[in-house]
Amino acid sequence: MAVIGVIGQQQQTSFKCPIDTPSTDSKLGFLPVPPASSFEITNLPNATASLLATLNGMYAGYIPSGVTAPVPQNLFFWYFPSANKSSTDLVLWLNGGPGCSSLYGDFVENGPLMINEDGSLTANPTSWHNHANILYLEQPLGTGFSANMSHFVSSEWELATNVLYFLNGFYTAFPAAKAWNLYLTGESYAGTYIPYIGAAITQCKTLIDQAKTPFNLKGVLIFDGILDIGSQLYPQSAVHLFDFIKTTKLFTSLPSGTQKQAATIASRCATASVAESNTDPSLFYCDMLGFVSDAFTAQNTQFGVNNTCMDVYNVNNVIPCTAVSASYKQDDALTAYLNTPEVRAAIHVDPTLKTAVPNFTWQECSPVGIKEYKDYNYGPASATFLDTFVAAGMKVLIANGDLDFIVDYLGTEQVLGNTTWGGQKGFKGSLQAWSVNGTDAGLTVSERGLTYYRVKNSGHMVPYDQPTSGLAIFKDLLFKNSAVVTQKSSAPRVDLLSAIISMAFFVAFS
């Protein structure tokens, strides 16, 4: 789940590793971390014996973020050792937002605990913990149970610094994980988080222990990610969103004249900058997503007049306008569950948090400083770091659902077409069909260490909409996945070069 707003092209490119070079910031420092036993969950409410039998234990609680003043700030995690006890892979999962909790990923997408609409818990047959050790982290500060006591994160480099401190703390509590392969995974705005965190790790290189243990970062996987704010969010997104609407034939379900109006918006906004959209009132209308959503609501009444909305996370779904996405009943159940006193005590949130913030309520998405400080102004587009990972021999996987309107696949493919890695820009070959267990799963292309998947019949949350496809992609990250078969597509050749989408206003009236 994500709540994406225009937040800003980044210019701060330098990063000082707080591990290799001691910080001169008096607000940063390493704090003691208790042993793993203090994080063990032994009495989780609603966890039946049959559900617990699918687990290899679980741990949750707080680890310092490195922020020590004016009061120490901690990040909340939930960790599931792999059911495959021989696994030596540690996978960090991050949801986006900014400010949306990774516990949504845990309970609704790819974790072992699936929450039902009535608040009960069941085992997830496609849980990633069956193949690797999975670590869900609520970050940046202010997200979920990682309550912000005194400090807003102001840039992606600062966010990455907090995650580095957290990882050092995690490895202190779970020292066996130091030798494991590390993978960074996530979705939505994690497409910005992950490359910055990965870049920080490649610069820091080692943990702050006496042995100077190296970070063993092996790969990254990003679903429906924001890789370049400037092109993927408005104003310029109006062009590829228009093409997306045409491709998915959404205009046929919208009021007459909508396509012509949308074409005018795309034409006006094609070359506008984010800075211009913040100062020119006429560019407010570059919000193609909002324009089309309003047109849809005006045309549809399934949930009542003015209360029937297109699910921008998956355009095949129609939802009440009071809901965020099709998983809204599970979302509500998760919010109620995590605010239960017994649950908060079991996962070691209370009494720590209750003492600090007596009336604190967990929310799936919360306002965080990374949005308020206009992240757009603080460093290069995250896609530029993909070349660093490829050069280091890491696996790099990018995937996008073909029904996602909030981060549409055409925008993602445009970013990749304009990104340089392995000495060349974009993909030179064509997309090929891929399948999972004999079922058509979409299109894929892989070159020079970077693989892209366009996931068929999936929206923004691939592990939720298409859990089998999501699992297959995840397994491809960890090792050669025999369930994924690529073959020449019978569809027309689709090239992902530097200019992959049409200019909407040239084709609007065709």
Pinpoint the alpha helices (H) of 233-361.
237-247, 258-269, 274-279, 288-299, 328-338, 341-346, 352-356
Q: Is residue 157 part of a domain?
A: yes
Q: Is residue 6 part of a domain?
A: no
Q: With 70 as the cut, is the pLDDT of residue 430 above it?
A: yes
Six-digit token string for 30: 């390493």
Q: Are residues 322 and 341 in the same domain?
A: no
What Cα–Cα distance (Å) separates residue 141 from each residue in 45, 61, 154, 161, 200?
A: 26, 14, 10, 12, 18
Q: Per-residue pLDDT tens for 39-94? A: 999 999 999 999 999 999 999 999 999 888 778 889 999 999 999 999 999 999 99
Specify the pairing of strand 181-187 against strand 217-223. parallel
Under the banding of pLDDT at 50, 70 and 90, the label for residue 130 is very high
Burial class (CB in 10 A: 0-12, 13-18, 19+), 270: middle
Q: With 80 as the cut, is the pLDDT of residue 209 above it?
A: no
Under the banding of pLDDT at 50, 70 and 90, the label for residue 153 is confident
CB atoms within 10 A of CB 210: 6
Q: Are residues 361 and 295 in the same domain?
A: no
Q: Are residues 195 and 342 in the same domain?
A: yes
Averaged over 223-228, what is the pLDDT? 95
Under the banding of pLDDT at 50, 70 and 90, the label for residue 32 is confident
The residues, any chain, with a CB within 8 Å of residue 281's CB and separated by 6 or more, are none
**Residue 26: what pLDDT?**
56
DSSP state of 192: H
Q: Are residues 266 and 344 in the same domain?
A: no
Q: Is residue 9 part of a domain?
A: no
Q: Are residues 322 and 357 in the same domain?
A: no
Q: Per-residue pLDDT tens for 439-498? A: 999 999 999 999 999 999 999 999 999 999 999 999 999 986 655 656 655 444 444 433
Q: Is residue 433 part of a domain?
A: yes
**Residue 485: what pLDDT?**
58
Residue 464 contacts residue 458 (beta carbons within 8 Å): no
**Residue 280: what pLDDT?**
65
Give how many domains the chain has, as a whole number. Answer: 3
Q: Are residues 87 and 204 in the same domain?
A: yes
Q: With 50 as the cut, is the pLDDT of residue 106 above it?
A: yes
Q: Are residues 126 and 204 in the same domain?
A: yes
Q: Are residues 211 and 275 in the same domain?
A: no
| Average of per-residue pLDDT values in the chain | 87
Q: Per-residue pLDDT tens for 333-362? A: 999 999 999 999 999 999 889 888 889 999
Which residue range is the domain that position 444 belongs to? Answer: 382-400+419-497
Q: Are residues 145 and 98 in the same domain?
A: yes
Q: Is residue 60 part of a domain?
A: yes
Q: Are residues 388 and 360 in the same domain?
A: no
Give the C-alpha separation, 489 to 440, whole Å: 11
Q: With 90 as the cut, is the pLDDT of residue 268 above it?
A: no
Give the C-alpha separation, 324 to 207, whole Å: 40
pTM above 0.95, yes or no: no
The residues, any chain, with a CB within 8 Å of residue 302's CB and separated by 6 or more, are 308, 318
End-to-end CA distance of the chain: 35
